[in-house]
Structure 1
């Protein structure tokens, strides 16, 4: 596999991982014990830590990509295994 393809696939995994990671660790102002700003929705997150999300996203994306690449190299799951109509 060419390095450009690997980079593109990693970016896709990273983008997917952002949406997997975002809902975890979110606390509302009520849960954090802070006052609501007038006009703020009660469900709005209290604090946003971009560095935490970037680190978690990178870890999840790297693990997923390594599993994908190992499957590519060793052929654990092939397209033929997933073709249920060929029987």
Structure 2
């Protein structure tokens, strides 16, 4: 896997994990029965703690990416293992023109 591909895959994993982590610990004043300030959306979180969520997202994404990298680098699962995809074993011959 090239460096650019690795960065792109890590970013996609990070982005997906972020949306899973965002709701963790989010409490709105409306849920707690507190008074809502004028001009504030009732569902807005009181203390979003985004820095902690970004750190948690990065740690979780790094673990997922490391597992994916091990699978790809050691060829534990390849495209040929997926039954509904075409056979990719002969692509090297096609690229060289043999």
In which range does the TM-score fall when normalised by the shorter chain? 0.7 to 0.9
* Larger-gyration structure (1/2): 2
CA contact (8 A) 1:32 1:46 kept: no
Q: Deviations over 1:8-30 (max 9, x none)?
A: 22112111221121122211214
The residue aligned with 1:45 is: 45
Q: Greater relative contact order (Cα 8 A, min sep 6): structure 1 or 2?
A: 1
Structure 1-normalised TM-score?
0.76
Q: What value does the CA root-mean-square deviation take over the aligned residues?
A: 2.2
**Aligned equivalents of 2:15, 2:62: Cα separation in 1:** 11
Greater helix fraction, Structure 1 or Structure 2: 1
Structure 2-normalised TM-score?
0.70
Gaps of 5+ in 1: none
